[in-house]
Structure 1
Amino acid sequence: MLDWENLRHFLAVARTGTLSGAARDLQVDHATVSRRLAALEAGLQAPLVERLPRSCRLTPLGVSVFEQAKTMEAAAFAIERQTRASHEPVSGKVSLSAPPVLTTHLLAGRLADFRAAYPGIRLSVSAQARAVSLTRREADVALRLVRPSESSSVVRKLGQMPFALYASLDYPALRNPRDWTFIAYDAQFADMPQQRWLLELAGPRPVGCELSDISSHFAAARAGAGVAGLPCFLGDADAGLVRLEHEGAAFSRDIWLVVHRDLRRSAPVRAVMDFLSEVVAGHGAFGSASE
């Protein structure tokens, strides 16, 4: 009988393409991944991975085993989800993945309210820009700014997050739009919708600095570094910023709530979903889900 832990480590190597990447994903050391992979190959009496200087490449057999192992992994996670969903008490740990801007500036300030309402639930919130896999149990519930497409997930639109241009009240060019310089994202986020919107509004005017996340844009705008495109719920709440009039289209991001279909009736998960819906619906800066 194959050791599932060995297969789990092999799956991580196959997905990341390196032993070190697999170690980071599994939160173990490099030697553990190497040992688990070697044990699996020894048990099968066949090589699954070709170890190259900077990467790992699956052998033809490794490709076949990878596909079958993914099916086994999905079945294992399904058993976990179904077992968990059958537990009725509103208690236990629920993991939530949400965009950093919503985690830092919206949800963190409401966690005391959640704790008071559901003292038996340990809510673990991870601020992540990437879309995590609910099928692989990387999170139980997720908030996303792009509509999820996984067939195994249940999706609901909670509202819209409008953006606008903001600058510090002390920004020297505040009253001279032709002299504005802009705070944009760095090259790795070139395809992000708010980056395209901001650069379209900027036109020939220069980008003064590039930062990788909205919280940094917010801090830079407050410090007078230039004009930033910020969510209105964040910019309007700060007395040191002013919303700027501009030509061009308005812009917003949809907020989506997503849960794996096997967990949607779990009492703790249901409580977290209701909490998220209430937070978004109760904030005046977010548009309604029907918009």
Structure 2
Amino acid sequence: MDWEDLRHFAAFVVGGSLSGAARRLSVEHATVARRIATLEEGLGIKLVDRRGRRLMLTPDGERVAAIAERMARETEGLSRLAQGARSELKGEVVISAPSAYAAALLARPLVALQRRHPDLRIRLLGEARLVSLEHREADIAIRLSRPEAGDLTAVKLGEMPFHLYADAAYLKETAAADWRFVGADGAMAGSPQQVLAEKIAAGRNFGLASDHAEIQLAFVRAGGGVAMLPDFMALSEPGLVRASPGEPALRREVWLVVHSDVKAAAPIRATVDCLKSHIGKHLEP
């Protein structure tokens, strides 16, 4: 039996689908399907029921899944232990952060860090979902909420203010009662800024939406309506103004999170120090 086959099966169990497993492992979903089929052939049992639209585990699959998950946890723990012992400033560090924040505020300090340490390889993933640090989907995460579970070390970096913004020309030619709203979609659909925008809209039209803040900003910049945007994005855009100047800011906490097993590793420590010193300058306490 090939451990890689079992690892792909474990990712399928955790991810809930072939595509979910593929995202976790950074492979094509066809690779996951092939690995599972190879594992089934090697074991001589069916692990997945393929008859419905959604793949389900068979009873044998449930039993193998429990074993695979235990083995995956042990392997990941061993990997984190080894990573935590690294003392040289080289190797790969993976950082997950909201895409708009990553592009606007993290690129410059990370470029400077990599120049100081050429053997360091930095991967910056811009994504709204909460990656699993336990499953090593990333080494460091920038989150807009404090993690509540897992063996994680979290440091509050500050607070990010949001206000309702629009193009100045749009506000001049559009009465408040006729405002159209640009909403947050996908992983951002239930975010505090979207909830507040819906409250302010009070039934007015959400004609445009996106799961990326950069696209919401583009809609607003093009005169598509008003949107709840972080100040760091909107204030750098000429022509954008606060739609409701008297409204208090929505403040979201910004947290830097790292798995406790790897926080002492030199590459992780250097990257964390770099991010902490830079990000704090752009946030409110």
Residues 1:59 and 2:48 are matched in the alignment:
no
1:243 alignment counterpart: 242
| CA distance in 1 between partners of 2:71 and 2:270 (Å) | 30
Verify the 8 A CA contact 1:87 1:266 in the aligned structure 2.
yes
2:183 alignment counterpart: 184
Deviation at 1:156, TM superposition (A): 1.3
| CA distance in 2 between partners of 1:281 and 1:257 (Å) | 11
1:274 alignment counterpart: 273
Unaligned runs of 5+ residues in structure 2 are none
Pairing 1:84-233 to 2, within 5 Å after superposition: 84-173=83-172, 176-186=175-185, 189-233=188-232
Is the alpha carbon distance of 1:33 and 1:209 closer, same or farther for their aligned partners in structure 2, counting shifts above 3 Å?
closer
Deviation at 1:133, TM superposition (A): 0.8
Deviation at 1:247, TM superposition (A): 5.6
Verify the 8 A CA contact 1:173 1:180 in the aligned structure 2.
no
Verify the 8 A CA contact 2:12 2:20 in the aligned structure 1.
yes
Amino acid at match of 2:262: L
Tell me the TM-score normalized by structure 2: 0.90
2:284 alignment counterpart: 287
Deviation at 1:186, TM superposition (A): 3.7
Verify the 8 A CA contact 2:171 2:243 in the aligned structure 1.
no
Verify the 8 A CA contact 1:49 1:62 in the aligned structure 2.
yes
Deviation at 1:88, TM superposition (A): 0.8
2:42 alignment counterpart: 43
Deviation at 1:115, TM superposition (A): 2.5
Between the two proteins, what is the percent identity of the paired residues?
A: 40
Tell me the TM-score normalized by structure 1: 0.88
Amino acid at match of 1:36: R
Unaligned runs of 5+ residues in structure 1 are none
Amino acid at match of 2:10: L
Is the alpha carbon distance of 1:27 and 1:163 closer, same or farther for their aligned partners in structure 2, counting shifts above 3 Å?
closer
- SS of residue in 2 equivalent to 1:170: helix
Deviation at 1:195, TM superposition (A): 0.5
Q: Out of 267-276 and 100-109, give the one that drifted further.
A: 100-109
Deviation at 1:205, TM superposition (A): 3.3
| CA distance in 2 between partners of 1:122 and 1:28 (Å) | 20
Amino acid at match of 1:230: L
| CA distance in 2 between partners of 1:274 and 1:224 (Å) | 40
| CA distance in 2 between partners of 1:274 and 1:175 (Å) | 46
| CA distance in 1 between partners of 2:192 and 2:81 (Å) | 36
Is the alpha carbon distance of 1:272 and 1:212 closer, same or farther for their aligned partners in structure 2, counting shifts above 3 Å?
same
Verify the 8 A CA contact 1:153 1:259 in the aligned structure 2.
yes
Deviations 1:232-265 (A, max 9, x none): 1111122221123356553121111111111010
| Equivalent residues, number | 285
Deviation at 1:64, TM superposition (A): 2.0
Is the alpha carbon distance of 1:214 and 1:112 closer, same or farther for their aligned partners in structure 2, counting shifts above 3 Å?
same
2:10 alignment counterpart: 11
- SS of residue in 2 equivalent to 1:183: strand
Verify the 8 A CA contact 2:99 2:128 in the aligned structure 1.
yes
Deviations 1:81-118 (A, max 9, x none): 11122121112110001111211221124333223343
| CA distance in 2 between partners of 1:130 and 1:95 (Å) | 15
| CA distance in 1 between partners of 2:93 and 2:278 (Å) | 17
- SS of residue in 1 equivalent to 2:4: helix
Residues 1:259 and 2:223 are matched in the alignment:
no
Is the alpha carbon distance of 1:189 and 1:96 closer, same or farther for their aligned partners in structure 2, counting shifts above 3 Å?
closer
Is the alpha carbon distance of 1:20 and 1:139 closer, same or farther for their aligned partners in structure 2, counting shifts above 3 Å?
closer
